[in-house]
Amino acid sequence: MGGIAILKTFYVELPGRRYAIMTGQGLLTKAGSLLSKAGFDSAPIVISNAKVWRLHGPVLERSLKGAFGPVPVILIGDGERFKSHTTLMKLYHRMFRTHADRRSWILAFGGGVVGDIAGFAAATFMRGIPFAMAPTTLLAQVDSSIGGKVAINVKEGKNLIGAFYQPSAVLADIGVLRTLPKRELAAGLYEAVKSAAICSESLLGYMERRLPQILDCRPPEMERVVVETAKIKARVVTADEKETGVRIILNFGHTVGHALESATGYRRFKHGEAVGWGMLAAVEYGRELGLLRADESARLIRLVRSVGRLPSLKGIALDTLWNSLLLDKKFRSGDIRMILLQRLGEAEIRGDIKSESLRKFLKSFLAGNGSPV
Amino acid sequence: MGGIAILKTFYVELPGRRYAIMTGQGLLTKAGSLLSKAGFDSAPIVISNAKVWRLHGPVLERSLKGAFGPVPVILIGDGERFKSHTTLMKLYHRMFRTHADRRSWILAFGGGVVGDIAGFAAATFMRGIPFAMAPTTLLAQVDSSIGGKVAINVKEGKNLIGAFYQPSAVLADIGVLRTLPKRELAAGLYEAVKSAAICSESLLGYMERRLPQILDCRPPEMERVVVETAKIKARVVTADEKETGVRIILNFGHTVGHALESATGYRRFKHGEAVGWGMLAAVEYGRELGLLRADESARLIRLVRSVGRLPSLKGIALDTLWNSLLLDKKFRSGDIRMILLQRLGEAEIRGDIKSESLRKFLKSFLAGNGSPV
């Protein structure tokens, strides 16, 4: 695991409370003392999945045990389809079996799926118990572990049942990212590209220049990406916890992204990949509307395409995609809302999207497998 | 429905927001305009049950339609066993079918079961949409509709999955109470007796003096009971929204009450009846501990016994009851907590209950069918 170093601690500031995002190399080895300092004084119930637990469980467990004593661990299935009601009910029952009560707390140890469902379990178990996150994927470290959006999927769509429920601390050990499969790493990078695209042209430029090193998970480059992206997220959440205003821009790429995931039963795309496609769609559509300069859209398209190979759009029916999109929770009855870029690093919320024009665009986007024909 | 009169409006005051409890006769006939004034500007999704809807749906619907246009209505089963996960999932799916989105809101129209599950649906649907309550039972008007405790039951116990999620308005039409079955009315009265017992000796005295008129649902007496009891609840919730301190006293009678409900599969007792038994147990046990004066405990026992006939405790095994009690969420791992009376109108939270002594007491309480032998 190499040396231990806390790189950066920064905060999500909310009315009446704040919580720390701690990022660094090898943080898991001192998770117990870091979480003690964050205010926890008893052993958590750890929720994780088998793959993460096999790779990093022993290190975490040793550290937690040193600080808190023996730690109950509940493992759930790996993959978006386990972010379900069935898994949630199993989680509750397992928690009751460990004699969890209102004084218990949860440590979510894994990627976005673990964080979302463990966070929702924390939000609803006995009307809410505290939780902390130790995200182990790039996507979770830069995005899903920060901001308190917790949820499960239902057949009508992704994340449609959930809550705003903030963690008490986030512990992002950048060292664990070296064990991620390439595809998983790329999936997380799309979310980092997204944050840069809406908020930081300079981070975007950095990612363009250092993409090979980042994809190779080299420490200095990866650290910068994680820290800067997580900071963007923390800043936006601080400004708008409940997503009634500016936080909506974080959904750049998610309108079409969510619809793609839903239309393919959450099987074909990893979430970040769907967001990758969604960004391409938003950029191309924005270009149609005359929003983004051609050279800027070309830069973003090139970066997204260089991160990895996005699974094909082949076989996705327009009607299926369209219905999924209309069901998405970001749409008010009647009108369609989409996040588009004005320039790189600057997004705007557009509430005036014409349904017919978007549908027509998507037809062409699907037909050209992401390059509108 | 007689004349229309708003009797009292009072508020639950919370950090950064407050909401009105409106009580009066015939309020349902002006629900639309009252809810408009409370800030709602579109038609709610009404969640109710068939019995309530048959009796009072037409009046409510006419009024809502006048203010907001056509109103989708979702009916759930009547009874505690429908406060389940299965019902919740059906609710979500029905909501999606009415094209509910983040701008939708819910009006819970019914008793405690409807309020709790509709409130939890509101808390979790698309991470939370607003809701209002129009409680139609005495228990809901004086207790469960106020304070934002929403939940469902799981096999491990009652209300174990839920949230603190405050309504935006509560509309308590006292006129509808006249259509309540006697048993339902009595069940609500036990909660009113509870609130008086912990907070207001004068309300308790009033209920002792006017019990026949209250049981007969005479307007002035019932109005006073509803308004004063609801005010007690609003005051306690204002002081401690999340039940980390003083709000715990509202659980007087609930320690044994919940355990009785759970031990009998939520079938034998109505919630209020179980609380009735729970108060008798708390009073008798408090007397054993030398807490409450004999004449005061005799007064409370007499009042509880006069409200109605409590279903028998026969056949409830001590072990079953005890296990249910230990699973209750009000117990920290290790120690047992109970609300006991120091005198009428004054409760205290006792964290020093000896498990063996309580178990022994309950054995005798069960054996004597509520009069310890």
Interface of A with B in 183-212 (CB under 8 A): none
Interface check for B68 against chain A (CB to CB < 8 A): the answer is no
The reported pLDDT for the residue numbered A1 is 42
Contact call for A330 and B15, based on CB within 8 A: no
Catalytic residue among A80, A191, A221, A228: A191
Which pLDDT tens digit goes with each residue over B262-276? 899 888 999 999 999
> Average pLDDT of A11-25?
91
Q: What proportion of chain A, given as a percentage, has pLDDT over 90?
A: 84
Residue A240 in this model has a pLDDT that exceeds 80: yes
pLDDT band at residue B330 under the 50/70/90 scheme = low
The reported pLDDT for the residue numbered B111 is 96
Dihedral sign computed on CA atoms, order B46, B155, B304, B340: negative
Catalytic residue among B56, B158, B233, B299: B233
Residue A331 in this model has a pLDDT that exceeds 60: no
Which residue in the set A126, A154, A162 is minimally distant from B160, CB to CB?
Answer: A126
In sequence order, the 6+-apart residues with CB closer than 8 A to the CB of A63 are A28, A29, A30, A31, A32, A33
Using a CB-CB cut-off of 8 Å, the residues of chain B touching A15 are 15-16
pLDDT band at residue A225 under the 50/70/90 scheme = very high
The reported pLDDT for the residue numbered B170 is 97
Which residue in the set B101, B124, B329 is minimally distant from A161, CB to CB?
Answer: B124
Q: How crowded is residue B15: how many other Cβ atoms within 10 Å of its Cβ? A: 8
Angstrom distance (rounded) from CA A354 to CA B337: 59
pLDDT band at residue B371 under the 50/70/90 scheme = confident
Determine whether A254 is an active site residue: yes
Per-residue tokens: B362: 């309950």
> Average pLDDT of B329-339?
67
Interface of A with B in 313-332 (CB under 8 A): 327, 329-332
Determine whether A13 is an active site residue: no
Which pLDDT tens digit goes with each residue over A163-217? 999 999 999 999 999 999 999 999 999 999 999 999 999 999 999 999 999 999 9
The reported pLDDT for the residue numbered B81 is 87
Residue B3 in this model has a pLDDT that exceeds 70: no
Contact B148, B241 (CB under 8 A): yes
In sequence order, the 6+-apart residues with CB closer than 8 A to the CB of A334 are none
- Mean pLDDT (chain A) is 93
Catalytic residue among A184, A223, A251, A299: A251
Using a CB-CB cut-off of 8 Å, the residues of chain B touching A86 are none
CA terminus-to-terminus distance, chain B:
48
The reported pLDDT for the residue numbered B22 is 95
What's the alpha-carbon Rg for chain B, to the nearest Å? 20
Angstrom distance (rounded) from CA B316 to CA A265: 48
Contact B106, B129 (CB under 8 A): yes
Which pLDDT tens digit goes with each residue over A270-287? 999 999 999 999 999 999
Residue B1 in this model has a pLDDT that exceeds 50: no
Determine whether A273 is an active site residue: no
- Whether the model clears a pTM of 0.80, i.e. scores above it, the answer is yes
The reported pLDDT for the residue numbered B180 is 95
Angstrom distance (rounded) from CA B310 to CA B272: 10
Determine whether A235 is an active site residue: no
> Average pLDDT of B125-153?
96
Interface check for A128 against chain B (CB to CB < 8 A): the answer is yes
> Average pLDDT of A226-241?
94
pLDDT band at residue A309 under the 50/70/90 scheme = very high
Which residue in the set A15, A89, A155 is minimally distant from B85, CB to CB?
Answer: A89
Q: Which of A86, A124, A328 would you mutate first to test chain B, the one with the most B CBs within 10 A?
A: A124
Contact call for B92 and A161, based on CB within 8 A: yes
Determine whether B354 is an active site residue: no
Catalytic residue among B127, B155, B314, B332: B127
Which residue in the set A92, A164, A329 is minimally distant from B102, CB to CB?
Answer: A329
Q: Three-state SS for A108?
A: strand
Q: Which of A17, A97, A104, A127 would you mutate first to test chain B, the one with the most B CBs within 10 A?
A: A127
The reported pLDDT for the residue numbered B16 is 81
Using a CB-CB cut-off of 8 Å, the residues of chain A touching B91 are none
* Alpha helices (H) along chain A: 31-37, 50-68, 85-97, 112-124, 138-139, 182-199, 201-215, 219-239, 254-263, 271-288, 294-307, 318-327, 355-367
The reported pLDDT for the residue numbered A53 is 98
Contact call for A164 and B127, based on CB within 8 A: yes
Contact call for A160 and B15, based on CB within 8 A: no
Angstrom distance (rounded) from CA B302 to CA B296: 10
Backbone angles phi, psi at B7, to 5 degrees: -80, -55
The reported pLDDT for the residue numbered B117 is 98
Interface check for B149 against chain A (CB to CB < 8 A): the answer is yes
Catalytic residue among B271, B273, B284, B287: B271
Angstrom distance (rounded) from CA A277 to CA A159: 19
Residue A122 in this model has a pLDDT that exceeds 70: yes
ipTM: 0.90
pLDDT band at residue B306 under the 50/70/90 scheme = very high
Determine whether B85 is an active site residue: no
Which pLDDT tens digit goes with each residue over A35-81? 999 999 999 999 999 999 999 999 999 999 999 999 999 999 998 88
Q: Three-state SS for A103?
A: coil
Which pLDDT tens digit goes with each residue over B173-200? 999 999 999 999 999 999 999 999 999 9
Using a CB-CB cut-off of 8 Å, the residues of chain A touching B88 are none
